[in-house]
Chains A and B, each alone.
Chain A
């Protein structure tokens, strides 16, 4: 299963990179979203996907899945959500102020002169 997941993560990274290299600001943000999904799945996969009970002691199972990567991912999800939200509003403000989402046109002051 880890082998398969490694390929899935690779594809997620590939799509994310392709989107990030595009001209449209929104596609770049979508790309970062895909990238964080890939990273979260990578964390989970690297922690090992061995079957066991969910990390709840009430299950009283002989073995549990690793709780540490889950805690790390939870933190990462919240942080990436905060950053994505901020980015989205930033993009929205950039549209309002500059009237474009084409990154090739957003080249700082020197290129516009």
Chain B
């Protein structure tokens, strides 16, 4: 176990200590004990920066399940490092923020920080694992810890609903991803991502390629809230705001992005990969930004904004795959999509993290997040307002913030799609820049709503629960750091390009050599005019928002995906309940009918499908006339039981059958059987009669009601038994072993009655336990008659 492994599991180790620290130091906010860990980890990961940008990835292996080829291999390359820095860096800021956000007297801080540390460790494990099984284990742990964090205020109905929804959707995707992992293992014989990438030629021609691709993508899409699986993210906003900032904007929702980027060298050659990722990404981009404008809750706006931005990154990763079909490494337009994806990934983490924290501050200081009740906070909360401006303008893609740069690169990538004449991109590709531009207009509108509806306009103190004022400085530190990053990256975009972005890109597309140079100003070109168009149209639409907002009302509520999800869940519940009630009706007759019907169906189908039925008359014994007489008696007696009215008669008829069976035993030379049968039949009949004597006399005796199903089933059972008996008798495979008993009964066991010798000598164990059966039956009967539960009716 190396230091790297220790770094990955250190959050889990600290999580064990959290409850102890919480109980021991009640005076200190528990968050202060947590804060050093992500900071130390961040510094530790920064130390890898020079290593990953110049040399091979760092790989450390640790044996876990050797027999199955599952090793906890930690690997740091450009992509893993980028995510690790995001996780620990934003983790530090979020924990600092949460110290001021969560009250140490009112909240259960021990559980909060345990869950958060679990999540942090799991997320580090996801991005730093080279083994797919280990990655999957950490992946599910992120779903699980996210579930716990969303349901943190578990006494609220909505928190529980959101937690359940996110759990169901992400675990559904996680399981499907697990299927994809297994398929990859079948194709390559290894769980190691590095080795799978090395075998990508084998995979590409394998028939399981497409199923594996779809399974992996399903996992990525559900985790990263892509259309139509985005519905869990807005409901996950019931979590405390630090959680929303950390999990649902900067880290967990990017796990799907990470997976897509990580698996790109395996799958990206295929047209399906490009079309699915780019297509779903662009749809998610549009739908997220379109729906965000409708929201009135600040966190809901941010949730849909996150969905939209994730869709944008996803579509860029998809388009980037087209570059694999060209040799022209020099042409920067081929690689700009992937570059934009990684760049925007970083930018989004900075501005979205700060925006969530800003919204948390507004919520904390005013008591509401509803933009209909907010307004005019500009003068009261100047610092928060500034932070909101920086974050929102960056999100809208305005200069001089970092969002502007990545949005320009996004437009560049989208407008150059038509140049790629692969996979019909030259014909259908025109849709991408058009949708992207429209989505950007909506992005602009909701970004403006976020700032101006909250901070400008008229203050409505009567609608607020608290008197609003500026947040404490501790709460502002984290968003200030993030907002500074927004500006710094905006002005000096190249500080990250060599050390962070280039190594990450070469992990996504190992075939290419990247030289990333992001210029702050690129002259007057098409992209700039597109941005100007976005600003102009966006401003116009924002100002006339009240007039056209009604179109959201036109959208039928019944077609909404949330309704579909709710109805689907309800349908599954009711459907399974109905189905269970349909066959589990509590009537023993129904269950017996199922059992008998399956008995008939299975046995007769096997009998006829295997052509097993045959009759062999040759070995059969002769029929004597008195045997026919016995047969007639037993048949008449047993059939008559079905028709008699009185219970007494049916018991006597059963006795008749029993005595006739005894006569059969006599006839077939079985004296011991005949004796036993006679005695036991006598006792049985007496027992029956005894039983009847004690029965309540109130009920009228009546004939058995006729039921056609019963008749069909019983004739079927009788026929199957007869047919099998005939076939079995007609296929003698080998001789009986009875000759041994005939020869050795006297010489070995000193007895002349073969049956008795078999019972007590050759096969005495059977007899021993048959005695036990009788003993248990008699004790049981005694207990039933004598024992009564005290207090029972």
Contacts and interface: CB of A to CB of B under 8 A. Distances in A.
Interface of A: 1-24, 26-27, 30, 33-34, 37-38, 40-42, 44-58, 64-68, 70-71, 73-75, 77-79, 81-86, 88-93, 95-96, 99, 101, 103-104, 106-108, 110-111
B210 interface: no
B746 A23 contact: no
B711 interface: yes
A11 B725 contact: no
Contacts of A22: 589, 704-705, 710
Given A3-B617, A11-B718, A110-B586, A77 B631 contact: no
B588 A86 contact: no
B726 A3 contact: yes
A13 B717 contact: yes
A23 B715 contact: no
Contact of B586 (A2, A12, A14, A111): A111
A35 to B, nearest CB: 10
Contact of B683 (A34, A44, A73, A81): A81
Interface stretch (B176-184, B314-322, B618-626): B618-626
Nearest to A28: B588
B191 to A, nearest CB: 48
Given A15-B718, A37-B658, A89-B781, 7 more contacts: A6-B722, A11-B638, A14-B719, A15-B714, A46-B729, A71-B759, A83-B777
Contacts, number: 258
Contacts of A56: 671, 752-754
Interface of B is mostly: helix
B61 to A, nearest CB: 56
A102 B658 CA distance: 26
Given A18-B711, A70-B673, A41 B627 contact: no
B425 to A, nearest CB: 61
A37 to B, nearest CB: 5
Interface of A is mostly: helix
Contact of B784 (A6, A18, A67, A90): A90
A105 B759 CA distance: 43
Interface residues of B, number: 95
B546 interface: no
B741 interface: yes
A15 B642 contact: yes
A79 B589 CA distance: 25
A83 B719 CA distance: 26
Nearest to A6: B725
Contact of B627 (A1, A11, A67): A1
Nearest to A89: B781
Given A68-B736, A108-B586, A74 B755 contact: yes
Given A21-B710, A67-B755, A75 B668 contact: no
Given A37-B657, A68-B758, A77 B729 contact: no
Contact of A93 (B627, B634, B784): B784
A103 B589 contact: yes
A66 B718 contact: no
B773 interface: yes
Nearest to A27: B704
A54 B746 contact: no
B714 A79 contact: no
A44 B738 CA distance: 14
Given A1-B621, A57-B754, A65-B669, A42 B676 contact: no
Contact of A70 (B657, B672, B704): B672
Given A19-B642, A85-B781, A10 B725 contact: yes
Nearest to B771: A78
